[in-house]
Structures are given as structure tokens and as C-alpha cells.
Amino acid sequence: MKLVIIGKGGQGVIFFSKLIAQAAIKKGTSVCSTEIKGMAKKGGVVEVQMKIAEGLSGFVRRGTADLVILLSDDLTDYAQTFGEKIFTFTKSQIDDALKIVSSRYINTFLLGIFVKKTDLFSCEDFIKILDDDNKKSFIKGCEYVQS
């Protein structure tokens, strides 16, 4: 699977991608990835390209991504250059996340939403690798989808 994760500096794009990679590796799947940080400290674009179970390079050519995960909805045009299938978090989901968990754990909450809405991983895949605080936030994200 060719996966691209795009957001802005401070949104936890790299942490989000590392958790996905760890979950895939725990399942015995190979993972290659590359990070493009650019002006991350100034709110610039952060992009992680990842291949799960294919190839020896993490580089994903434009137009070939199986899935693009978008953490910042104002980057939709850029995300579309990688592929047609884009997973975006709604403003409502992000606003609810801010009310439910500390801002420090929003990305694990959103990861819970992503996992429940896609069939790429199970919640159990992440519960095994997260520390206690992130695990609580992740579970709340999973439960949010069920409610």
C-alpha cells in the first residue's frame, strides 16, 4: 500500500505516521517511509510518504498513492496530486477532539477515528504499541466513531 500523510507543522504528522509504521511492523509487514518537513516550525507543510508491504523505497510518485491522509483540510488541492482517495478529518471531528482530550493527544484521538473508519488496521494493533495516555486518547477516538 502506498500511503501519504500530509499536514502542517505542529499537527503530529510524523508521530501519526510512526504509529502507523509501528503497527504495520508489529503485524510482520515491511515499511519504508520518507519525511519531508520543510518549514514545519513555521506551520509549513509536513509530508510523510510510506509504502507498506511493497518496494524498497518510501518514495510515492504523484498520482500513485492508494490513500492520502490529510490532517489539514486547506491542503486538499496538494493532497489530490498524490491520489484520488483522500481521508480527511472533518472540522466537527477536530472540534470534538479538542473538547474530549487534551490538545497534546489530539492526533492519537484522530488516529482512533481513522482506524475505525478504515479497514487497514484494528484498534488492537495500536493498543499494543501506545503508552497509557496515548492509549486512552486513541480508545476515545475509536469509541467516538461508534457513538
Contact of 78 with 45, CB cutoff 8 Å = yes
pLDDT at 44: 84
pLDDT at 29: 95
pLDDT at 39: 66
pLDDT tens per residue, range 99-113 = 999 999 999 999 999
- Positions in the chain whose pLDDT score sits under 50: none
Rg of the chain in Å (alpha carbons): 14
In a 3-state reduction of DSSP, which class is residue 97? helix
Contact of 100 with 129, CB cutoff 8 Å = no
Write down how long the chain is.
Answer: 147
C-alpha–C-alpha distance, residues 120 and 25, integer Å: 13
pLDDT at 123: 95
Q: What dihedral do alpha carbons 74, 134, 99, 145 form, nearest 10°?
A: 80
Q: Which CATH class is domain 1-88?
A: alpha beta
> Using the 8-state DSSP alphabet, how is residue 92 labeled?
H
In a 3-state reduction of DSSP, which class is residue 2? strand
C-alpha–C-alpha distance, residues 35 and 29, integer Å: 19
pLDDT at 20: 97
Report domain extents, the chain.
Answer: 1-88, 90-147
